[in-house]
Chains A and B, each alone.
Chain A
Amino acid sequence: MWVWPALLLGVPLFGAIVIAIAPSRQAKWIALGVSAATFVYSVMLALVFGHWDDGGFGFEGSIPWPGLEKLGITLSLGADSVSMLLVLLTTLLMPLCVAGSFTAINERLKEYYGWLLAIEAAMIGVFIARDLIFFYVCFEFTLVPMYFLIAIWGSEGRARACTKFFLYTFTGSLIALAGLLYIAWQYQIGYGQWSFDIAALTVFAATELTASQQAWVLLALLAGFAVKVPLFPLHTWLPLAHTEAPTAASVVLASILLKLGTYGLYRFVLPMLPEAVVAYAPAIAVVSIIGILYAALICWVQDDIKRLIAYSSVSHLGFCVLGLFALNPLGVQGSVLYMLNHGLSTGALFFLVGMIYERYHTRDMTKLGGLSKRMPVWAFFMVFFVLSSVGLPGLNGFVGEFLCLVGAFTASADNAIYPGVLGPWYAAVAGVGMIFAAMYLLIMVGKVVFGPLIEPARGAAAHAIRLPADLTIREIGVLAPLAVLCLYIGLQPKPLTDAMEGSINGVLGAYPATVERHLAASHESASDLAVDLGVVVQQPREHEERLDG
């Protein structure tokens, strides 16, 4: 029944329309009500969702739209467990974003809350689209509200930031679209009819495309998704956009929009292009590791807290991509978990920085210090989410990071069950990022939260709306659900990992065989080369199947 998933999109869109009509005094309350209703609705859907165990798709159906069928386009929807989790993350964060904007946004309220609800609909659309064109339209449409959110309500450098954000990601997405359409076109050549059905195209691409075709498509898709993630060196739009965006937009950007990139890798790149992925996984992993360390070192010397957290996203998502390209269940489970965890903890960190900015109108660490004296509750949450971000065991960040690394570590050629193309060195070098993360985050905490009190005069806005020194009940209400979830996932990741398992096994279905083929082929070609060169190659020792049983 198509109505059920379509309502997930429909409710926020409808809310956006209501906001446009209603008086602007009520905009924030309508937005809060609608986004909360969407959250409740998504939780209800999650409760009746029948595919938590098996990785299948539920809530499938197409929104009937006359005239599209003859183009092969359908507005088909559906969600598997991973989509469902990401939808839940989105719907959970949106009411918090709305509530977190109550005092920060004081002008053009109707537009602001309207755009927030519009971007919610678009993001949900990305996660539950089962049609390529529909996916792409939603994927691109997220740019428009975000563009306006930054352009209108951003801080001083917003003009440059939003233009760069828009053009950069838009260009990338167009190239990705070309890659996706190429698959559809090949499908049309093969079967004589157009289809944009993701499931059909996935099977087609994985089995029918040659290795070199896959490689070109991979390159095209990476252009879109890697910009979005963002992967080094395509990340420079992100610190700029984050720094200039209003708080809620930063949260949406970090927590959900970046995940569109990793979700794209998960949903399209991994299942569609196994041959190319196996061939290029080491290169992509190296790039993500460079990104982890590079961004971490840059974090270390930032003075702008928001910029620091933005760069930390670049560093953190490097782990996420590394886990994906480990191509084994541990790594991918870690990676998907990382998407959720990063959404929770980094989102919260942006909220926290926003709360400081609202009070002091600065994000400059050299002008802030020892705020725990003034704002103990804020300090508690800051330290809590920093620890989650650092990956302290017992909190959520640890589980995802650990699994990503253990996945990459064991993805070596001699792994009997899930042979991979990475190996111990990848994890060992990436692991240095864990040390760096502790360094830059604790240095930030040491400066801003602890030490002697340094505070600039409180901003005019804070006086105008009379924000107290420490957090208000509303602000605690924004942070507390995230904190509870961080703790819960840290202690009980099992429900989540169990839920992901089926979907991940589906995505990874082709890999053990493909990797083995690839390894055998590369070994052969190495021996061929060696024979040509007149070198005697020693046969690698047979490794016993240690992991069995």
Chain B
Amino acid sequence: MVGAERDVIAAANIFSVLAGYAALVPEPSAPIPIAETAAGMGWAGWILWLPAISTVMCGLCAALRVKNKLPAWITVGLLGSSFLMTLALWLQYDQPVVIHLLDWIVLGGDRWTFIANFSLYVDSLTLLWMLFVTGLGTLIALYASEYMEADVRGGYARFFAGISVFLFAMTALVMADNLLMLYLGWEGVGFASYWLIGYYYRKPSAVAAAKKAFIVNRIGDLGLALAIYLIWHNFGTVEYRALFEALDSGSYSAEAGGWSIKAIPYLLMLGAFGKSAQIPLYVWLPDAMEGPTPVSALIHAATMVTAGVFLVARMYPVFLLEPASLTVVAWIGGLTALLAATIAMAQHDIKRIFAYSTISQLGYMFMGLGMLSSVGAAYHVFTHAFFKAVLFLTAGVVMHGFAGQVDLRKVSGLRHLPGFRITSFTMLYACACLAGVPLITNGFWSKDAIMAQAFISTGPGFRALGVIAIITAFLTAYYAFRVWFRVCAGPVHFEAGEEQPDDDHAPEHGEFRPHAPRLAVNLVLIVITIGAVGSIFLKGWAGERIEDSTAAYYSPLAQGAGFWEDPHHWMPWVASAVGLLGIAVAGYFHLVNRKAADGLKNAMLANPATRWLPTAMENKWYVDELYHLMFRGPLWLGGHILNLFDRYIIDMAIVDGVARVPRLLGRGFQPLSNGILQSYAVSMAGGVALLGILVFLMPQLVDWLSRWMGGAG
């Protein structure tokens, strides 16, 4: 009845018709049974092992100093096979299944167990993630085979080993059947990012960024580790199957379990915020762009950062034990989305803009999860993976073509240059997706689902969050098209970057020829753009994948079905309006009248009352400096103080002081103890003597003591 009524009204709305979101009207179903290890599915393990083999083979290539493109073809081949097997697994999938591969940590006995094996837990959430992880991973490797060719004589094999180890870790993270293996993948992707960000290891900024990424992630990892301890403490297992069964049985609740259950989602959240670059742990992602390859940027932005969203989705039942935690997730996501968008508006480095945009879009995903729209969140992960991949790949083309130029003020009119046409148009489409251009872009549909939910779900301040989301959508459209209008449109003009990573491409004096992309890069751009277009129609499909999994939660429905009563009806119009408005503003300032943008900025800078705003935005709201002052500074100072304390107080004052006592007492023997060996000999002899006395005189001593005690008693 309600459903039918909805359909009628939905039919009146062009957006609803196109979205086909009637498919999302929930049909409550029984818990999904989880099969024991299915016979004959052991081959699925190769999805995990193939990237590992690829790592080893690329490592061998590095060790044997292979100087051709062999590592790239190994990686592309093996990752591609891994993708095809994921596809095959998806086609024959019918119910959640656990596939045991290898024993890892098996402890305990009859009364308790601590089991964490190399096993795969395959359900539709896993498959959804795996499809884009391995699919995109393969395409990235293909793109990199051309992008990195200047390094064939250098770190080519090392780079592809890094990509492979990243994919191995990501696969382990997503396909794990227990939290410990997830943790292995979790730290593994952190390590892979350390590897890839620090790829140009002679560049101090790259090394520093790599270090920062690893350490900031470790802070989140500690949260995840503590959450795992608590889960084991409360449920006696870290395996998903047993955990979900325990949760299904309904015998656990946050009320009965007290803080030790309530704390779990907050700790998990900390881990997710670290990996997915949310407040307060987002600071590593922009710096990761220092990592010189857009390929590594892409790996972070399109795949790795979704790990946090995956963790929350996977552990959704645990979060639902303590619904207040989801509100926190939503608010953190919303605030991060807004903060990152404001920073993105004021940056000049294309890669950094896209990095902040990633943080901002991840904020939307967490908002979706927090507001009980796990379908919207997962769909946004899916669509975002496509368009963000295109954005980073095209940014890479710009960088590659203009010798490391990433400043959007210094490249213009790209679409008029020969060889850059595909780049310009794929980038246009991706920017449109990010901006949420109505109907024809996937980002429009996925963002809309989240924003509408903000006006349906009930939670503290969700309406305000919805408004924040709408404002952020406007800012997003603005900064996305700021990049496109600056770089691809307008009059042709460019300056080469300062970096000359390789001598072969060194420009002739005074004349710089842009280096246009060739087949592999263009092919990858086109394939992913087609994927982005295709994903418009996959909302229902992605929704079903989620509903089939542990992340299933039937989002609250609107109270009424009239146009104004159901935000799903009016939100598309609002979203379209703010998106187009943002594009229009960007068009005015960055295409039609570029001087106006500079003029506005200068005017604001000139006015003391408004000067702080552009300055703070350009300086990323001084968050890095704040962290430095709050954490790194005190710890560094503490380290120095403790170092002095250790050396002068503990060691010299106390230890040496105590050691001096016997020496003072033994002044009389000074002639004997003037050398090291003598003092050693004396103490050794003393020790042996004491030993002898104790052993040989003990009976007498005991005798004497017992007589004395007897006498006393």
Q: Which residues of A contact B (CB under 8 A)?
A: 71, 73, 133, 136, 140, 144, 147, 151, 159, 162-164, 166-168, 170, 174, 177-178, 181, 185, 188-189, 194, 233, 236-237, 240, 294, 297-302, 329-330, 333, 370, 372-373, 387, 392-394, 398-399, 402-403, 405-406, 409-410, 412, 415, 417-418, 424, 427-428, 431-432, 434-435, 438-439, 442-443, 446, 449-453, 491-494, 497-498, 501, 546-549
* Complex contact A297–B204 (CB within 8 A): no
Within the assembled complex, what's the spacing in Å between the Cα atoms of A237 and B635?
25
* Complex contact B218–A298 (CB within 8 A): no
**B105 interface residue, CB < 8 Å from A?**
yes
* Complex contact B676–A163 (CB within 8 A): yes
The residue on A at minimum CB distance from B217 is A438
The residue on A at minimum CB distance from B649 is A233
**Ranked 5 nearest A-B pairs via Cβ:** A393-B184, A236-B651, A450-B201, A409-B229, A297-B639
Within the assembled complex, what's the spacing in Å between the Cα atoms of A514 and B210?
48
- Cross-chain contact of B684 among A144, A168, A330, A415 (Cβ < 8 A): A144
- Cross-chain contact of B233 among A164, A409, A451 (Cβ < 8 A): A409
* Complex contact B187–A393 (CB within 8 A): yes
* Complex contact A452–B202 (CB within 8 A): yes
* Complex contact A163–B236 (CB within 8 A): no
From known contacts A451-B202, A494-B105, infer whether A442 and B236 are also in contact, taking CB-CB under 8 Å. Answer: no
* Complex contact A163–B225 (CB within 8 A): no
The residue on A at minimum CB distance from B258 is A541
Within the assembled complex, what's the spacing in Å between the Cα atoms of A373 and B679?
47
Chain B residue contacts of A387, Cβ below 8 A: 191
**B599 interface residue, CB < 8 Å from A?**
no
**B698 interface residue, CB < 8 Å from A?**
yes
The residue on B at minimum CB distance from A314 is B646
Within the assembled complex, what's the spacing in Å between the Cα atoms of A434 and B235?
25
Chain B residue contacts of A236, Cβ below 8 A: 646, 650-651, 655
Chain A residue contacts of B235, Cβ below 8 A: 546
**B527 interface residue, CB < 8 Å from A?**
no
Within the assembled complex, what's the spacing in Å between the Cα atoms of A392 and B643?
27
Within the assembled complex, what's the spacing in Å between the Cα atoms of A15 and B665?
42
From known contacts A300-B636, A410-B233, A435-B222, infer whether A170 and B108 are also in contact, taking CB-CB under 8 Å. Answer: no
From known contacts A494-B103, A494-B106, infer whether A402 and B218 are also in contact, taking CB-CB under 8 Å. Answer: no
Contact with A along B83-117 (1 / 0, CB 8 A): 00000000000000000001111111001101000
Within the assembled complex, what's the spacing in Å between the Cα atoms of A500 and B440?
62
The residue on B at minimum CB distance from A372 is B201
* Complex contact B105–A297 (CB within 8 A): no
Chain B residue contacts of A372, Cβ below 8 A: 201
Looking at B226, B233, B638, B706, the one whose CB has the most chain A CB atoms below 10 A away is B233
A386 to chain B, nearest CB (A): 11
Chain B residue contacts of A144, Cβ below 8 A: 684
* Complex contact A438–B183 (CB within 8 A): no
Within the assembled complex, what's the spacing in Å between the Cα atoms of A415 and B191?
34
Chain B residue contacts of A410, Cβ below 8 A: 229, 232-233
**B694 interface residue, CB < 8 Å from A?**
yes
* Complex contact A329–B214 (CB within 8 A): no
Looking at B114, B180, B219, the one whose CB has the most chain A CB atoms below 10 A away is B114
Q: List 10 A-B contacts (CB under 8 A).
A: A177-B691, A301-B639, A387-B191, A424-B233, A434-B225, A435-B218, A450-B201, A497-B106, A497-B107, A547-B111
Chain B residue contacts of A548, Cβ below 8 A: 111, 236
- Cross-chain contact of A450 among B104, B112, B198, B676 (Cβ < 8 A): B198
From known contacts A151-B676, A546-B235, infer whether A170 and B683 are also in contact, taking CB-CB under 8 Å. Answer: yes
* Complex contact B226–A428 (CB within 8 A): yes
B586 to chain A, nearest CB (A): 39
- Cross-chain contact of A434 among B106, B112, B218 (Cβ < 8 A): B218
* Complex contact B694–A177 (CB within 8 A): yes
Chain B residue contacts of A451, Cβ below 8 A: 201-202, 204, 207
Chain A residue contacts of B207, Cβ below 8 A: 446, 450-451
Chain B residue contacts of A549, Cβ below 8 A: 236
**B321 interface residue, CB < 8 Å from A?**
no
B168 to chain A, nearest CB (A): 9
Within the assembled complex, what's the spacing in Å between the Cα atoms of A548 and B109?
11
- Cross-chain contact of B659 among A71, A167, A398 (Cβ < 8 A): A167
Chain B residue contacts of A435, Cβ below 8 A: 215, 218-219, 222
Within the assembled complex, what's the spacing in Å between the Cα atoms of A402 and B225?
8
From known contacts A163-B676, A431-B226, A446-B211, infer whether A168 and B655 are also in contact, taking CB-CB under 8 Å. Answer: yes
**B642 interface residue, CB < 8 Å from A?**
yes
A340 to chain B, nearest CB (A): 15
* Complex contact B698–A443 (CB within 8 A): no
- What number of A-B contacts does a CB cutoff of 8 Å give? 184
The residue on A at minimum CB distance from B200 is A450
Within the assembled complex, what's the spacing in Å between the Cα atoms of A170 and B191?
43
* Complex contact B191–A302 (CB within 8 A): no
Chain A residue contacts of B253, Cβ below 8 A: none
The residue on A at minimum CB distance from B103 is A494
**B581 interface residue, CB < 8 Å from A?**
no
- Cross-chain contact of A494 among B104, B214, B229 (Cβ < 8 A): B104
- Cross-chain contact of B236 among A185, A301, A546 (Cβ < 8 A): A546
B429 to chain A, nearest CB (A): 38
* Complex contact B642–A417 (CB within 8 A): no
Within the assembled complex, what's the spacing in Å between the Cα atoms of A260 and B496?
62
**B230 interface residue, CB < 8 Å from A?**
yes
* Complex contact A442–B214 (CB within 8 A): yes
Within the assembled complex, what's the spacing in Å between the Cα atoms of A446 and B215?
13
* Complex contact B211–A443 (CB within 8 A): yes
B112-145, CB < 8 A from A: 112, 114
Chain B residue contacts of A194, Cβ below 8 A: 698-699
* Complex contact B691–A434 (CB within 8 A): no
The residue on B at minimum CB distance from A143 is B684
B205 to chain A, nearest CB (A): 10
* Complex contact B706–A189 (CB within 8 A): yes
Within the assembled complex, what's the spacing in Å between the Cα atoms of A424 and B264?
12
* Complex contact A166–B702 (CB within 8 A): no
Within the assembled complex, what's the spacing in Å between the Cα atoms of A97 and B235?
46
* Complex contact A162–B650 (CB within 8 A): no
* Complex contact B702–A185 (CB within 8 A): yes
* Complex contact A181–B694 (CB within 8 A): yes
A291 to chain B, nearest CB (A): 11
**B471 interface residue, CB < 8 Å from A?**
no
From known contacts A297-B642, A302-B643, infer whether A373 and B202 are also in contact, taking CB-CB under 8 Å. Answer: yes
Within the assembled complex, what's the spacing in Å between the Cα atoms of A237 and B654?
12
Within the assembled complex, what's the spacing in Å between the Cα atoms of A342 and B233?
27
Chain A residue contacts of B198, Cβ below 8 A: 450
**B593 interface residue, CB < 8 Å from A?**
no
**B610 interface residue, CB < 8 Å from A?**
no
From known contacts A393-B188, A424-B260, A548-B111, infer whether A431 and B225 are also in contact, taking CB-CB under 8 Å. Answer: yes
**B640 interface residue, CB < 8 Å from A?**
yes
* Complex contact B635–A166 (CB within 8 A): no
**B603 interface residue, CB < 8 Å from A?**
no
- Cross-chain contact of A446 among B104, B111, B208, B230 (Cβ < 8 A): B208
B150 to chain A, nearest CB (A): 18
* Complex contact A189–B202 (CB within 8 A): no
A129 to chain B, nearest CB (A): 15
Chain B residue contacts of A546, Cβ below 8 A: 234-236
A478 to chain B, nearest CB (A): 18
Contact with A along B388-406 (1 / 0, CB 8 A): 0000000000000000000
* Complex contact A493–B655 (CB within 8 A): no
* Complex contact A453–B702 (CB within 8 A): no
Chain A residue contacts of B654, Cβ below 8 A: 233
Within the assembled complex, what's the spacing in Å between the Cα atoms of A247 and B287?
38
B464-522, CB < 8 A from A: none
From known contacts A166-B680, A410-B229, A438-B215, infer whether A547 and B236 are also in contact, taking CB-CB under 8 Å. Answer: yes
**B556 interface residue, CB < 8 Å from A?**
no
Within the assembled complex, what's the spacing in Å between the Cα atoms of A510 and B690?
34
Chain A residue contacts of B183, Cβ below 8 A: 393
The residue on B at minimum CB distance from A377 is B63
**B687 interface residue, CB < 8 Å from A?**
yes
Within the assembled complex, what's the spacing in Å between the Cα atoms of A236 and B652?
9
